[in-house]
């Protein structure tokens, strides 16, 4: 079980369930430049928390601009 803090980060010692991740673990290693690198088991969870924060911040920016559609420019 996990719980998010106010910034969308997972509290220490808690993990997201696989279904709750916003990133695909298997695709992380496909990123160019990671060919010779290992990826720690908790990396996908930390990356997912950052993505969640980006999404929430973008949604807030869209709302502040009177829109209900989140757009790439909100990032």
More confident residue, 12 or 75: 75
- Say what the pLDDT of residue 9 is: 56
- Domain residue extents for the chain: 18-74
pLDDT at 7 over 70: no
Task: Look at the pTM and tell me if it is higher than 0.85.
Answer: no
Residues with Cβ within 8 Å of 23's Cβ and at least 6 positions away in sequence, in order, are 44, 47, 48, 51
Q: What burial class does residue 49 get, using C-beta atoms within 10 Å of its C-beta: 0-12 exposed, 13-18 middle, 19+ buried?
A: buried
- Say what the pLDDT of residue 14 is: 58
Instruction: State pLDDT tens for residues 10-62.
Output: 555 556 566 789 999 989 999 999 888 999 999 999 999 999 999 999 999 99
């Amino acid at each position: 079980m996990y719980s998010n803090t106010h910034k969308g980060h997972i509290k220490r010692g808690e993990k997201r369930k696989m279904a709750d991740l916003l990133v695909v673990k298997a695709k992380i290693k496909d990123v160019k430049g990671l060919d010779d690198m290992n990826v720690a088991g908790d990396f996908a969870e930390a990356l997912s928390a950052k993505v969640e924060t980006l999404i929430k911040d973008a949604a807030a920016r869209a709302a502040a601009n009177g829109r209900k559609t989140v757009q790439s420019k909100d990032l």
